[in-house]
Amino acid sequence: MADTSAHISTIELDALWDEFHRVVNMNSEELAAWLRTESAGEVSETEPDHSGTRLGRHVLHILQKRRTDLTDDDIRVMHKVVDRVTDQRREDMEPVAGQSTWRHRLMNMGHDPLKPPRDSGR
């Protein structure tokens, strides 16, 4: 594993990986496009590598990694995203409409509440 000194077992990491990919139901292309759209202003646009929130960019970076390449920081972000999405969506994760600001906040973390969860069989 790359740079992982966190005290997390392989079993715990496998479970976190699966849960992260269950709640992050946008693929890397969808998330990258969303982050660019969200960052585009009326008169200016940010550079693609600086689009979206720091958390959203980190989620995108994790989606492009293999499990064996995760760092301690990646693991912390994965826990944060799982906790935040689960707090706001609860356990069922069924597609549901809500206020656009709520949806956009979740989409910044790679979760579109209008989409079904991704299969965790990665």
Residues of the chain with pLDDT > 70: what percent?
79
* HSE value, Cβ hemisphere, 13 Å, CA-based, for 26: 26
**Structure confidence at residue 78 (pLDDT):** 98
What is the pTM assigned to this prediction?
0.82
DSSP annotation of 27: -
Count the helices and strands in the chain (H runs, E runs): 5, 0
Q: How confident is the model at residue 38 (pLDDT cuts 50, 70, 90)?
A: confident
Give the mean pLDDT of the chain: 84
Phi-psi region of 8 (alpha: psi -120 to 50; beta: other; left: phi over 0): beta
**Structure confidence at residue 45 (pLDDT):** 46
∠83-38-32 over CA atoms, to 5°? Answer: 70
Q: What is the pLDDT of residues 68-93, one digit of tens each?
A: 999 999 999 999 999 999 999 877 77
- Say if CB 122 and CB 62 are below 8 A apart: no
**Structure confidence at residue 94 (pLDDT):** 80
